[in-house]
């Protein structure tokens, strides 16, 4: 199946060169790349989103979260994983090795505190809700996290991209050598998704919440357990998920119910 996908990606690449399709997605990736210190290459078409995922309808239908079904999602906004050995893939490893030289003990310590992913881990210190967090808030974010995890695990199983330290022995993580696939980053997806939710609840703090999510994502790169494009894909996935969540009446109602609970 993946071999067929590679051939299909090659065909799409030629079409992309001719039509320069999907400029909005490319712009989003460029912004994420700039933050991570990546030099965007002319070959960024290797990140072209697939028109449909190379999995069966049965596999998609079996993946369900709390509010969302993977089968109902249009995931074309999430770019395909870079091909092994492609310019984008080589740039990923360059950035990881660069961070490996520059990272500090304090940065690694901060990243280690975020090995698990949840609302409390990412936003507990800057939460707009009172402490202790009200049970309704905990339940809401747990449900959202269910959707985020379901979606990112589904895509990890599609692309099966190994962690950077598995692929290259030069990579020496300062985080535990986590198992599972790398693409897209679940930490990146969940942190951004929750930041988008908080930004809707407290628009004046949008920049603060998004910056916190960006730092959580960056910690996975400097820690040596994710490639920069894993992070960019996680952010793109969060954008897709939030757009879909806003269409769900149950989610909208639950989100409105949180407003009276803000500080």
Residue 180: which region, alpha, beta or left (left: phi > 0; alpha: psi -120 to 50)? left
- DSSP 8-state code for residue 259: G
The CATH number linked to 148 is 1.20.144.10
Residue 178 contacts by C-beta under 8 Å, 6 or more apart in sequence?
A: 115, 163, 225
- DSSP 8-state code for residue 130: -
Tell me the torsion sign for CA atoms 49, 156, 190, 56: positive
Domain membership of residue 122 as a residue range? 2-261
The two tokens of residue 179 are 């198992």
Q: Structural domain tally of the chain?
A: 1
Q: What is the pLDDT of residue 71?
A: 84
- 107 by Cβ neighbours in 10 Å (0-12 / 13-18 / 19+) ranks as middle
Beta bridge partners of 64: 69
Cα–Cα dist 87/33, whole Å:
14
137 and 150 Cβ atoms separated by less than 8 Å:
no
Cα–Cα dist 218/112, whole Å:
12
Q: pTM higher than 0.95, yes or no? A: no
Q: What is the pLDDT of residue 72?
A: 87
Cα–Cα dist 186/200, whole Å:
21
- List, for the chain, all residue ranges whose pLDDT scores fall below the cut of 70: 1-63
Beta strands in the chain (DSSP E): none
Cα–Cα dist 82/98, whole Å:
19
What are the C-alpha distances in Å from 136 to residues 127, 168, 260, 261?
Answer: 14, 44, 11, 9
Q: What is the pLDDT of residue 33?
A: 46
């Amino acid at each position: 199946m993946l071999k067929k996908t590679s051939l299909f990606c090659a065909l799409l690449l030629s079409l992309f060169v001719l039509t320069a399709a999907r400029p909005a997605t490319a712009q989003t990736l460029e912004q994420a790349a700039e933050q991570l210190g990546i030099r965007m290459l002319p070959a960024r078409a290797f990140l072209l989103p697939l028109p449909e995922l190379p999995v069966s309808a049965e596999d998609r239908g079996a993946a369900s979260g709390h509010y969302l079904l993977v089968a109902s999602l249009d995931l074309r906004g999430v770019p395909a994983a870079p091909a092994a050995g492609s310019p984008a893939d080589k740039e990923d490893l360059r950035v990881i090795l660069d961070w490996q030289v520059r990272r500090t003990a304090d940065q690694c310590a901060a990243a280690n505190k975020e090995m698990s992913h949840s609302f409390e881990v990412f936003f507990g210190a800057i939460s707009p809700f009172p402490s202790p967090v009200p049970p309704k808030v905990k339940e809401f974010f747990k449900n959202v996290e269910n959707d985020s995890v379901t979606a990112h695990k589904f895509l990890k199983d599609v692309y099966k991209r190994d962690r950077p330290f598995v692929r290259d022995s030069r990579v020496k993580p300062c985080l535990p050598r986590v198992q599972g696939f790398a693409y897209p980053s679940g930490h990146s997806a969940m942190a951004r998704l929750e930041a988008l939710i908080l930004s809707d609840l407290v628009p004046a703090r949008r920049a603060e919440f998004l910056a916190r999510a960006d730092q959580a994502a960056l910690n996975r790169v400097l820690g040596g357990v994710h490639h920069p494009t894993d992070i960019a894909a996680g952010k793109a996935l969060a954008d897709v998920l939030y757009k879909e969540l806003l269409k769900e009446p149950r989610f909208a109602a639950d989100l409105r119910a949180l407003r009276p609970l803000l500080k």
